[in-house]
Amino acid sequence: AHTVYQMSGMGRETPSGYVTDPEHEPPLSPGNPQADYLTGVTAATSTMVAITYRRVYGGGQLVDVSGVEANTNHVRMNWNMFAYNPDLLGGREKAAFGQVIECKDGHIFFAPYGLDHWWMSLRHMMGDPEWARDEVYLTGPGRTANVNNIEPHVRAWALNHTRDELYWMSIENKVPCFPVYSASEMRASPQLEARGFFIEVEHPEAGSFVQPGAPVQQTASRWAIDRPAPRLGEHTDEVLSELGYSGDAIVALFRDGAIQG
């Protein structure tokens, strides 16, 4: 879940921002398996769509759900939080044992402290240094209380490795980790590219641009975005006509400035 969540670019967030100091801030951090929740919701929704399709058209189909795509689809929420109130965000979530740390060629999200076997795997990855053998670090509460002593060592070690090196080491040792991607790097992701996640849309004002597509793939009722989001008032005439307004009434509303189109 940690890997998929970070790979998606979404990060770990709440409506009120990261919890970086749980001693002085309320417990707003989400639970660990957030990526699993979002993937499950996406899978459930797409399954309901497939069932509806079967009832209407009589054919079954395969629903292929990508955890990365499902979570990437939610990155806009994290973007809004960064854009409007960046002061709430920090690089470390002490309550969730996750942090963004610098490495040789960028940054990674790293969460090796929460579970005992993660911690032992981290020790193995770092060559089991003497400082990490302190018995106080053997339990979760011990690591929580001493995270400020642990972090400098881990950060110094990470600076000697690239993002890919740290990622693959973590994968092999089953430690939650993933490179922090920029928007352009996420756009170039081989995983998302192979699944055709990004699509090109033509907009009458913005021109041609690329945007996220469907977070699921279905064999029969494929999700297709064949037009851009509507502009303000673009379909006002059609909507009001469907609601029973006459042509003269719609013209009067436009004339009085009550609506735009």
Q: What pLDDT digit, counting tens, does each position of 174-210 carry?
A: 888 888 888 888 888 888 888 888 888 888 888 998 8
* The domain over range 2-186 is classified in CATH as 3.40.50.170: no
- Inter-axis angle of helices 116-125 and 163-173, nearest 10: 130
Q: In the predicted model, what is the mean pLDDT of residues 22-39?
A: 63
Neighbours of 255 (CB within 10 A): 9
**Strand residue runs (E) in 98-148:** 98-103, 106-110
Compute the residue count for the chain.
261
Q: Give the mean pLDDT of 214-228.
A: 77
**pLDDT band with cut points at 50, 70 and 90 for residue 14:** very low
Q: Is the pLDDT of residue 5 over 70?
A: no
CA dihedral 150, 111, 9, 219 (to 10 degrees): 170
Mean pLDDT of the chain: 80
For the chain, domain boundaries = 2-186, 231-261
Q: Output the pLDDT for position 220.
A: 78
Give the residue from 198, 229, 191 showing the smallest Cα distance to 214: 198
Provide the percentage of residues in the chain whose pLDDT is more than 90: 28
Give the separation between CA 201 and CA 105, rounded to whole angstroms.
33
Q: What is the pLDDT of residue 95?
A: 46
Three-state SS for 223?
Answer: coil
Q: Return d(Cα 235, Cα 239) in angstroms, integer.
A: 6
Res. 158: pLDDT tops 90: yes
Which of 97 and 54 is assigned the larger pLDDT?
54
Compute the CA torsion angle 176, 178, 183, 189 (nearest 10 deg). Answer: -110
| 229 pLDDT above the threshold of 90 | no
Question: Across the chain, which distance is largest between two alpha carbons, in Å?
Answer: 83
Looking at the predicted structure, is the pLDDT value of residue 214 above 70?
A: yes
The predicted model gives 234-254 an average pLDDT of 91
Which of residues 38 and 168 earns the better pLDDT score?
Answer: 168
Range with top average pLDDT, 34-43, 126-135, 200-209, 215-224? 126-135
**pLDDT, tens digit, 9 for 90 and up, residues 58-85:** 888 888 888 888 877 776 666 655 555 5
pLDDT at residue 154, as a whole number: 93
Token duo for residue 134 = 């302190």
CA dist., res. 186 & res. 14, Å (int): 22
Nearest to 158 by CA among 87, 213, 108, 208: 108
